[in-house]
Structure 1
Amino acid sequence: MSKHEKATPVTEEEKDDIRVTLELDDGEVECKIFTIFDMGDQDYIALIPLDADGNENSNGDLYVYRYYEDEEGLPSVENITDDDEYEAVVDRFDEVQDEIMFNEMDDE
């Protein structure tokens, strides 16, 4: 996470229960949080779209957005429109995934 303290900290256990509804051009999509990570001073969120039964999609789709919380702890997301920023975020996300897999191997 970024260097500032989150107003609404989320534990790993709570993360699986939180759902985010995105309004896309072709309708609403319910997602679960895969992870929230930082790059520099900006936080980003990776979301896994869910099917109608609330299960993770089988085709591996993942949405990545800028992530913010206001002073009251209310979260919001914002599209990443700059191609260079998007590529850097995807690279950082790959690093985060590697860290998660490495930590899971250490726990075994």
Structure 2
Amino acid sequence: MGKQENSNDDEDMFVTLSLDDDSEVECRILTIFEAADQDYIALLPLDENGADNAEGKVYIYRYFEDEDGNPSLDNITDDEEYEIVADRFDELLDEEEFEEMD
């Protein structure tokens, strides 16, 4: 579904998503996290200038690697699963904000 590329900044990783309408969007990987014994990835779509999107839109996908370690993404189609994952992502954001305050 996409490929990972290193940027000039060692900390940020990027992926290019191929969307259903045959368009592509460059995204910054925010985090890979676990919820309900499954790994998920949170991606921040970038605007045409390569900056974070102004709306704060985030894409969340199932994340897994094949036996060779190649990453893959899968859509979350179940509403209940999405709610669990979105809640966990919100918790991670809250924890990160709390840690930044220390």
TM-score under structure 1 length normalisation: 0.79
Runs of 4+ in 1 over 3 A off after TM superposition: none
Greater helix percent: which structure? 1
Unaligned residue ranges in structure 1 (runs of 5+): 1-12
CA distance in structure 1 between the partners assigned to 2:54 and 2:43 by the alignment: 14
Identify which of structures 1 and 2 has the higher relative contact order when contacts are C-alpha pairs closer than 8 Å and 6+ apart: 1
2:19 aligned partner: 24
- Please, what is the CA RMSD of the aligned residues? 1.4
TM-score under structure 2 length normalisation: 0.83
Q: What whole-Å deviation, never above 9, does each CA across 1:18-59 have from its counterpart, x for those lacking one?
A: 211111134111101111110132111100001122111111
Percentage of matched positions with identical amino acids: 62
Unaligned residue ranges in structure 2 (runs of 5+): 1-8
Q: Provide the aligned length of Structure 1 versus Structure 2.
A: 93
Greater strand percent: which structure? 2
